[in-house]
């Protein structure tokens, strides 16, 4: 069964998830600008890609070599932090984001992460719903963390998901 069929979508568009590289930096910056009040530049994405602890997965649809969404995380020892997760406006609300993030969590687990952390604006209901559906739980709040385009500030909701129990291995 195709991974899209597992979440109730048709694979006809032949979406796939792949690791991204510096050749995608411009497109990543465009997607990010469409999702956040303070967008990252292509140079910032290029800088992230130089970091060996960064994991960057992208959603590619059809024959388009450029991504329609991405998940970017940093893994340090046995913890990961999702630094950014965004989908192009044209593909939002179709379940692709949930599939991308589920795959990305597997990538993080394979990289050794036992726990994943993230922060999301408290008013971002679609993102909060996806994170909750994928097993994240609220772990804290940061009042006034995000700047909004209108000059006001929004709180960040900190969320955590355990990928695998940490601690000493049990004797075998």
pLDDT value, residue 69: 98
DSSP 79: E
Written as one string, the DSSP assignment of 93-153 is TSSHHHHHHHHHHHHHHHTT-SEEEEEEETT-HHHHHHHHHTT-EEEEEEEEEEEPTTS-E
For residue 4, give the 3-state DSSP assignment. helix
DSSP letter, residue 47: H
The CATH class of the 3-162 domain is: alpha beta
Domain boundaries, the chain: 3-162
Q: Hey, which residues does 86 pair with through a beta bridge?
A: 70
Digit-coded pLDDT (tens) for 18-37: 999 999 999 999 999 999 98
Distance, in Å, from the CA atom of 30 to the CA atom of 28, rounded to the nearest integer, reads 5
Predicted local confidence at residue 7, as pLDDT: 47
Each residue's pLDDT, cut to its tens digit, for the chain (172 residues) gives 554 555 444 455 589 999 999 999 999 999 999 999 889 999 999 999 999 999 999 999 999 999 999 999 999 999 999 999 999 999 999 999 999 999 999 999 999 999 999 999 999 999 999 999 999 999 999 999 988 888 899 999 999 999 987 655 544 4
Helix axes 25-33, 42-50, angle to 10 degrees: 120
pLDDT score of 148:
85
Looking at residue 125, what is its pLDDT?
Answer: 94
CA-wise closest residue to 4 among 103, 15, 70: 15
CA-based nearest residue to 145, from 125, 170, 120 = 120
Instruction: Tell how far CA 79 is from the center of its chain.
Output: 15
pLDDT the model gives residue 168: 54
């Amino acid at each position: 069964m195709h991974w899209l069929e597992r979440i109730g979508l048709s694979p006809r568009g032949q979406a796939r998830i792949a690791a991204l590289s510096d050749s995608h930096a411009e497109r990543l910056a465009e997607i990010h600008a469409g999702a956040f009040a303070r967008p990252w530049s292509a140079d910032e994405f290029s800088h992230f890609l130089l970091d060996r602890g960064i994991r960057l997965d992208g959603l590619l649809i059809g024959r388009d070599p450029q991504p329609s969404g991405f998940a970017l995380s940093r893994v340090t020892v046995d913890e990961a932090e999702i630094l950014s997760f965004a989908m192009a406006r044209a593909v939002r609300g179709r379940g692709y984001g949930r599939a991308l993030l589920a795959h990305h969590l597997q990538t993080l687990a394979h990289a050794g992460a036992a726990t994943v952390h993230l922060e999301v604006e408290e008013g971002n209901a679609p993102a909060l719903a996806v994170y909750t559906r994928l097993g994240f739980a609220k772990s804290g709040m940061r009042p006034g963390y995000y700047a909004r385009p209108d000059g006001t500030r929004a709180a960040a909701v900190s969320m955590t998901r355990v990928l695998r129990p940490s601690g000493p291995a049990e004797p075998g």
